[in-house]
Structure 1
Amino acid sequence: MDPASSPHHVVVVGAGFGGLEATRNLTGAPVRITIIDRRNHHLFQPLLYQVATTSLATSEIAWPIRQLLRNREDVTTLLGTVTGVDPAGKRVLMEDGEAIPYDTLVLATGARHAYFGHDEWEPYAPGLKTLEDATTIRRRILMAFEKAERETDPERRRARLTFVIIGGGPTGVELAGTIAELAHDTLPREFRNIDTREARVVLIEAGERVLSAFVPAQSAYAKSALEKLGVEVELGRAVSECNAQGVVYGGQHLPAKTIIWAAGVAASPAAEWLGASADRAGRVMVEPDLTVAGHPEIFVIGDTAHVTTPEGKPVPGVAPAAKQQGWHIAATIKARLKGGSSVRPFRYKNDGNLATIGKRAAVIDFGWIKLNGRIAWWLWGLAHIYFLIGLRNRLSVALSWLWIYTTGQRSARLITQGSAQTPAKPK
């Protein structure tokens, strides 16, 4: 195809919520789209913790990108890893050496784990951003019980039955509550040498309260609900050490063999690719219309972008915000193609905050109404089912939750990754 005569080429890097929303809303526009992702699936990240804690299977929260876009003949899907951007040449640089030209570029590359300068902690405290992360954590949780069943030393057994979650945001709270229910409700009748109800689940938060994005009363409710599930909530004490033996926080050492990191994220290296200004988390400081300073043809959205409201408050890195940004840039691109030249500032509409605490409680803050407890949990579930893709997945997840709600049993408890035996150290 002659580039001079071909339609306007939009390259979208990242098939998350923002990238897919931009692609969907460009339907019918006089463009051709190339969407690039290093994985072949779109992931519903808000429910990723449920894969890690054996409530859902991987196929229930992820969909092949090609399947989602199979009816879009204007879209080409590429599986590959982007390693840089050449803004002067208007090219996306790939790991295999290929360079893909663009007229408009959308960077929706998401975020990764941030260990606050202690990357050496990652092998001991994996984070939760991908399906691979979820299956790794699921394996560690299940193997902890399996190894405790065979452990004869009481101290080592206690360490194996101690689960530490670092970070009291929604992910940390949701993980802690579900692990506690797994130990107290699902597993007790399945082991003979241990009582899984003796497992310790410890949630460590450096701040003064969990769920800091919610009002203090809801944070207090979440803490109380976690403690009723048996979770030990430690506030105001940051972790200073993390290794194979456990964690150190507030000067206290806690032996633990299963540690999960939910304390912080850092943006993808998009700012480095562009040579753009970034905040402390590495997010690109974008213009009000979500473009990069000096490059109106480059948009950055989602967890990769530092976006503020007109009041100067940061837009949260949540799925609804990314979807709104995807819709916004699609509308901007279409307006430009029609000859529009005015800047279209992005306006974020806060749809509210939601977090669940186990299988029967949640907190919801819609601004105009705030709910705690069982009603909030049902609304939380309905909201998440609504945003899932496809009738089959909605029905499957709804049935899984109903089964867990009524029986306490979680069926996605297969140890399918890695070896059950610890490999011998090389001599």
Structure 2
Amino acid sequence: MAENVRMAREYGITPLILRLNGSHGEAEIIHEESNLPVLQFKTLEAMDESNNIQIHMFPTHMIIEGNYSNHTYYFLDYKRIDDLREAIKEDLYFGNGEVDVEVLNYVPLEGIASTEQYIPFENADDGFNYMSSEDDSDPEEKIQMQLDLLKENLIDDDGVESYFTGELSSFLIDTVLFTDIPYESAPEQLTSILGKFASSKTDEQTVFCSVVLGSDYFSEERYSEENEDLYEEQVENLLSKSPYLSEGVGNHLRHIEVVVGMQDSIDARRPNMQCASTYACMRYSQDDFYNSATNKQLFHINNLLGTELKQDEVAKLSSSGYICIVPSIKKGFVPLSSKNLYPQNSIHSKPHYLRSIHYDVRRVANYFDHYIGEPLPQSLLQNILSQIDSFIDFLIVENPFYQDIKMEVVEFTQSILSLSISFELFGEIEAVRTSLDYVPSSEVNISWQ
């Protein structure tokens, strides 16, 4: 997780982090002279290794000895304890993604420590420590526990349909990055849980919600010491797990993007990381919803571990809905094609189309929000439709792939107004259609065809 957070920081993104299991390590510094707690530390990650972090205190300075780096802070360099906190956060929270710190009491730094001492971090726990690492059944059991936690915290159902729930309910969610479980370990359950969450979330908010998953495949050399091709089986396994092979491909797959590729970590002392994090941050950072992430430069990838994938393998994976990260002479590394897991012969397989159209339909719906609870006479309707027509003309000019947008009044009574909106895109035979139902007494409902 820390690597994902650090990658987000590199792209200027402040992520919202949802912890589903385990507990963070904590440490507290007591001001010796006043005997007051002054600084409260918490590890960003909840894993057993976080207990190895410690704070080495001296009368003149302190050293935070992290898992990946050490940082020294001389007390005379800071006028206030607030300044010390900001320096620590800049290095170890915004920088390394390892430790956060808050001030408990505002007292002078002088007298914070009179003797040398070590302050350990304690109680960090990944939540699965009671499972034996020697039992072959543990990995599958652990994954199932994680899936159960994920479902419990993201979605619920009433027997008819699924809807989002949990701590993310009140947030506007554009992109969810989940790399704790590689896609190939539980493809159907991951796409079902996260896809249904993103689908129901999209229905409620103004932006299209997408989930980016990663794969742990292609992280080693292609050939073993016995000259066995290790990639062939991995490629075939991904192809066999393509959702197109399943009956009844669900609309929730429009919300799932799976990135294939492993890269070196930003910090050489950390393990390798999935390219999913870099891709998600790059795509989120695009200036406009209609910008595709296809062939866009991925910063912060120094080395791609799976550059030995053959062209026909990349072509097969890409045509099956996977986003392959490939080398580029001019740009370093790029996603060959930005797509989701929906059948690739459909216009709904292109995330930037969906993100743009959903956003613009919500903007159309906003024209009616001001009048909810009021009567809708013919004169007011004509005024609103005239404003929407002008807005549509603006969209056709602003958006480079809108060829035409057609709006039609399907039904109009004192109790309901139904509009049909069709988006025709350049180079696409298929159109995207939506229905907008305005009930003056209560709400605006949007449904997709």
Q: TM-score range by the shorter chain?
A: under 0.3
Instruction: Tell me the TM-score normalized by structure 2.
Output: 0.21
Which structure ranks higher in relative contact order (CA pairs < 8 Å, sequence separation ≥ 6)?
1
Instruction: Tell me the TM-score normalized by structure 1.
Output: 0.22
